[in-house]
Chain A
Amino acid sequence: DAGVTQSPTHLIKTRGQQVTLRCSPKSGHDTVSWYQQALGQGPQFIFQYYEEEERQRGNFPDRFSGHQFPNYSSELNVNALLLGDSALYLCASSLLLLFGESYTFGSGTRLTVV
């Protein structure tokens, strides 16, 4: 049973560029959440997708956008990259209506902006 798959694992971009990160959820999961984790800090909630719609959003600017596809996979897009966007980006999948179930996390994409 495959868990959450994220690609790429590492990425180096230049300030001002755009980046797309990809996530395939665990089999059977329908909800995907994205988190940004700066070095030495806890993950910060970016947004969550369910039924191809953004359901909730954290305190992130519009430069951060996303998409969920009919097969539940998801993309995170970041435009006009800043040095401060350098972080580990974690994707987590879950079943929306199972309150007590933990998210399943991927290994993350480490983004470095230079």
Chain B
Amino acid sequence: AQKITQTQPGMFVQEKEAVTLDCTYDTSDPSYGLFWYKQPSSGEMIFLIYQGSYDQQNATEGRYSLNFQKARKSANLVISASQLGDSAMYFCAMREGGMETSYDKVIFGPGTSLSVIP
């Protein structure tokens, strides 16, 4: 069974500092994808970054990078130079199977609330 764990219910970071949000996952499927989403108070889920299980390099998207440690089943999100607008809920998510499979489901962790302090 799939499982996503985010052990930090809430995090605080000073504006302009970097912050790491933790995510561990559990799967027996060799082919999977990992996502991070941001959910502001408005409710919309905003895609931030993706890492495939076979990707050799850690994914980066602007100020977001994903610290992927496959052996430890860890996929931490690093946000550099935090901004006030980064205050939101952050969800780690996983999708199992590759293009050869007939199923497609993304499951989410419980989330981490990030507050950026001026």
Contacts and interface: CB of A to CB of B under 8 A. Distances in A.
A79 to B, nearest CB: 24
A33 B47 CA distance: 15
B108 A42 contact: yes
Of B98, B99, B104, B108, the most chain A CB neighbours within 10 A belong to: B104
Interface of B: 4, 31, 33, 35, 37, 42-47, 50, 52, 91, 95, 97-99, 102-111
A48 B115 CA distance: 33
Contacts of B4: 42
Contact of B91 (A42, A55, A99): A42
A108 B98 contact: no
A42 B107 CA distance: 9
B105 to A, nearest CB: 5
Interface residues of A, number: 29
Interface of A: 31, 33, 35, 41-45, 48, 55-56, 58, 88, 90, 92, 94, 96-100, 102-108, 110
A57 to B, nearest CB: 9
Given A41-B111, A42-B111, A43-B91, A103 B106 contact: yes
Contact of A107 (B33, B43, B50, B106): B43
B95 to A, nearest CB: 7
A56 B82 CA distance: 38
A46 B50 CA distance: 23
Contacts of A55: 102-104
Given A88-B43, A92-B45, A108-B43, A102 B105 contact: no
Nearest to B103: A56
Given A55-B104, A100-B52, A107-B42, 17 more contacts: A31-B104, A35-B108, A42-B4, A42-B109, A43-B91, A43-B108, A44-B108, A45-B105, A98-B99, A99-B98, A102-B35, A102-B50, A104-B47, A105-B44, A107-B44, A108-B43, A108-B44
28 contacts: A33-B105, A33-B106, A35-B108, A41-B110, A42-B108, A43-B45, A43-B91, A45-B105, A48-B104, A48-B105, A55-B103, A55-B104, A56-B103, A56-B104, A88-B43, A92-B45, A97-B99, A98-B99, A99-B52, A99-B97, A100-B33, A100-B50, A102-B50, A103-B45, A103-B47, A107-B43, A108-B43, A110-B43
